[in-house]
Amino acid sequence: MASSLSGLDIQEEATCPICLEYLTDPVSVDCGHNFCRGCITQYCAEWVGCGSLTCPICRSQILKGNFRPNWQLRNLVEKMKHVTVCPRHKKTLDLFCEEDGEAVCVVCERSSQHRSHTVLLIEEAAQNYKEKIQAHLKTLKEEREKLLGLKATGEGKSQEYLRQKIVSEFQQLRQFLEEQERLLLAQLEKLDEEILRIQKENVTKLSGEISHLSELIHELEGKCQKPASEFLQPLLYSDCRCSESWG
């Protein structure tokens, strides 16, 4: 099985001898060799003052600026950019090994690694995989149609289920709020009882203090109404007691 392209030779033809990359806007000089337009233009500019301008490859005399666009080579380079080359044998990878699931060249096909494997043209292998994908895609589309049908018939049921669920949750929330209301009312009732008890204790205590102060006021008012000698007698008696204790 022969390769459709001679990978190494064509790759060399598509490579610029100056930059060693794929040709960009390839042009031909007087001797027929091809270069990137930018590369040969820079080469000519650097040659100024070095004598007659010659081809970088064959040293034939060429004229500056006498470049002819090579459209066929340009198209070939564009195609070569999309062609992968075997890194070992420099041949195009235009075959496909089904066992290893990888692209191979004609030399790889004849090696011991792939000799007993099923090797197809890469276009044929790609077509087989496309057919498998299309079959799987058909199954997926059919499954999607089924799901869309179930969705259409189930939308009504879903809405009814959602309505019932909302009603149920609302009832649960209402019961919860009613229970919380009962608990708060019970706590308020206990709080009112505690406040009333404290108020009664305070009233009782204040009544006792008021009674005591009333008695004291009455006693002092009575003393203030006594004659001077009688009013001071308790004080004089108290002073005598104090003097005896000092003596």
Convert 186-197 to b/e letters by CB count within 10 Å (16 or more is b): eeeeeeeeeeee
| pLDDT for position 30 | 92
Confidence of residue 2 (pLDDT cuts 50, 70, 90): very low
Chain segment 130-157, per-residue pLDDT in tens: 888 888 888 888 888 888 877 777 666 6
Query: Which CA distances in Å does 54 have to 33, 35, 47, 48, 235?
Result: 11, 13, 9, 11, 147
Single pTM value for the model? 0.37
Distance between CA atoms of residues 18 and 1, nearest Å: 35
pLDDT digits (tens, 9 = 90+) for 64-117: 888 999 998 888 888 777 667 777 776 777 788 888 787 888 788 788 787 788
- Choice among 8-22, 68-82, 135-149, 225-239 with the minimum mean pLDDT: 225-239
State yes or no: pLDDT of 18 exceeds 90. Answer: yes
Extents of the domains making up the chain: 1-83
- What does pLDDT average to over the chain? 80
Structurally, at CATH architecture level, domain 1-83 sits in 2-Layer Sandwich (3.30)
SS3 68: strand
pLDDT computed for residue 6 by the predictor: 47
Rounded mean pLDDT, 173-180 = 88
Given the DSSP bridges, would you call strands 95-97 and 102-104 parallel, antiparallel or unpaired? Answer: antiparallel
- Hunting for tokens 């000799």 — which residue is that? 115
Give residue 1's pLDDT.
38
pLDDT of residue 229: 67
What does the angle CA 48 – CA 54 – CA 58 come to, to the nearest 5 degrees?
150
Rg (CA), the chain: 57
